[in-house]
Structure 1
Amino acid sequence: MTEEDGPDGPEMATVHLLRRVSVEFGLRQAEFAARHGMHPTDVRALICLLDAGRAGTPVTAGRLGARLGLNSAGTTALIDRLERLGHVVRTRDAHDRRRVLLTVTARAVDQGQEFFGPPLARMADLLRTLDDREAAAVRRFLLEAHAALTGT
C-alpha cells in the first residue's frame, strides 16, 4: 500500500478521488449558475438537455422533470425560468404536434463553452495521453460507477 492509497486501500482511494472530482464539478456548476442568474438545478437541466441532444433523444417537459426528480409545477417553473433567460426554447414536435420539445439555445451553449471549455479541454487532452486499453478502463469504470449510483 502506498501513501496515496490511504487507510482504506487503493480501491476506496479511487472512489474518494472520484467523489472529489464530482464535488468540484458541482462547485463549478454552482458558480456558473450564480454568474448567470440561475439555480443549480437549472444547470443540471441544461446538462440533461445537452446530453439528450448528443444522443439524438427528444426531451419533453415530462421527461426532463422525471430525470431531475421534479413535479410538474417545479418543471414548468424551471423551463419558464430557462426560457426567460434565453437558455431553452420550446418547439412543437414535427412528428406529433401535441408534444412540445425542449432544446438548448446556441447562446447557452456558448456561455457553457466559455466557462467549462478550458477544464473540459484539459481533461480531453489528458485522455488523449492514454493508450486504448487505459482509456477503455477509465470509460468502463465511469460507466459502472454511474450504474452503481443510479441503480441501473
Structure 2
Amino acid sequence: MGEGGTGMGIVHLLREVTVELALFQGEFARTNGLHTTDVRALICLLDAERAGAPLTPGELGARLGLHSAGTTSAIDRLERAGHVERVRDVHDRRRVRLQVSEQAVALGERHFGPLIAQTLDLLGTFDDGEVAAVRRFLTGVRDAAKSRHA
C-alpha cells in the first residue's frame, strides 16, 4: 500500500481529522469557559447516557484516565457551570451517577450540530457496504488505540 489513498495516506488523513476535531473541541471549550478535559468528560457522559448506563465519578475517571482528585476537579467545574449534576442511583442510593444538564446538551448541539449534520449528509451518500467498511475501520482504529493505553 502506497502513500496515496491507502496505507500511510489513510493514516495521515486520519491524523489530520483528529487534529481538526481536537481544534473544534478546543474552540468549544474556550467559547464556553471549559477545560479540554471537561469537554472530554461531557462527551463520555453523553455517550454513557445514550447507551442507558450513566457513569459514576469513578467510571468517568477510568474512561478519562484521571486519578480521583483530577476526576473530582473536573466534575466540580462542570457542576459549578451547570453542565453536570450528581444524582443518586435509583437502584442503589449509596451510588452517585453523573447526569448532563439540558443546558450542556443545548450548548453542544449549537456548536457541534452543524458539523454532525454535515457528517450525516456525507454519510448519506455512501451505500450500505461503504458505511459498513467505514464503521469497521473506525471501530478497529478505536480498539487499537484503546489497547495501547488500557
> What does the per-residue CA deviation read over 1:89-130, in whole Å, with 9 as the maximum and x for residues that have no partner?
110001000000001111101000100110111001100111
Q: CA RMSD in A?
A: 1.5
Paired residue secondary structure (2:92)? coil
| Uncovered stretches (5+) of structure 1, i.e. residues with no partner | none
How far apart are the structure 1 equivalents of 2:50 and 2:8? 32
After TM superposition, list the pairs within 5 Å mapping 1:15-30 onto structure 2: 15-30=11-26
Q: Tell me the TM-score normalized by structure 2.
A: 0.94
Specify the alignment match of 1:49 in structure 2: 45
C-alpha separation in 2, matches of 1:146 and 1:62: 22
Aligned-residue sequence identity (percent) comes to 61
Matched, 1:124 2:86: no
Instruction: Report the alpha carbon displacement of residue 87 of structure 1 after superposing the two structures with TM.
Output: 0.5
Deviation at 1:10? 1.9
Q: How far does residue 58 in structure 1 lie from its aligned partner after superposition?
A: 2.2
Aligned ranges 1:67-106 → 2 under 5 Å: 67-106=63-102
Q: Any runs of at least 4 consecutive aligned residues in structure 1 with deviations exceeding 4 A, and if so which?
A: none
Quote the residue 2:32 is aligned against: 36
Cα distance in 2 between the residues matched to 1:88 and 1:54: 15
TM, length-normalised to structure 1: 0.93
